[in-house]
Amino acid sequence: MFNYTTFDESKIEYSEIAPVSELPNGERLFVEVGDKPIVIFNIAGQFFAIRDICTHDDGPLGDGDLEGLNIVCPRHGGEFDVQTGKAVQTPAVVDIPAYPVQVRDGNIFVGIPKE
Ligand code: FES
């Protein structure tokens, strides 16, 4: 389980995703980095990235509603903190990978652990 709050920068590789202008406040962006489906959120000007597949039963997590900084899985209602990936509401009990996001020169980058 990768969680950017405890990550070792030397083990991360950043991939350029898109210009910041493509992810306005309140929107989300679905991308694949390598073989990883990831959803990136702009919440009040802060960017967060998590895996787009729920740990409970593979639900399309990124399609869920946001409640503050939590995303609610549309399949069974499990919730995750988008800042950390922590599962905060059953039936989801396993945390989801959360990835560091950086903005450099007007572009969004997501950090993925090196294989
Ligand atoms: S698949 Fe997400 S809560 Fe069940």
Q: How far is Cα 2 from Cα 112, in angstroms, rounded to an integer?
A: 9
pLDDT in tens, 34-93: 889 999 999 999 999 999 999 999 999 999 999 999 999 999 999 999 999 999 999 999
What are the sequence ranges of the domains in the chain?
A: 4-113
Residues 7-51: pLDDT tens digits? 677 888 999 999 999 999 999 999 999 889 999 999 999 999 999
Rounded CA separation 24/43 (Å): 9
Q: How confident is the model at residue 2 (pLDDT cuts 50, 70, 90)?
A: low
**Strand partners of residue 72:** 65, 79
Q: Which one of 53, 56, 71, 90 would you pick to mutate in the ligand 1 pocket, going by the greatest count of ligand atoms within 8 A of its CB?
A: 56
Question: Ligand 1: which of 53, 63, 73 to mutate, judged by most atoms within 8 Å of the beta carbon?
Answer: 73
Distance (angstroms) between ligand 1 centre and the Cα of 29 equals: 20
Query: Distance between CA 85 and CA 46 in Å, rounded?
Result: 15
Mapped onto helix, strand or coil, the DSSP state of residue 63 is helix
pTM: 0.92
Instruction: Classify domain 4-113 at the CATH topology level.
Output: Rieske Iron-sulfur Protein (2.102.10)
Q: How far apart are CA 75 and CA 67, in angstroms?
A: 16
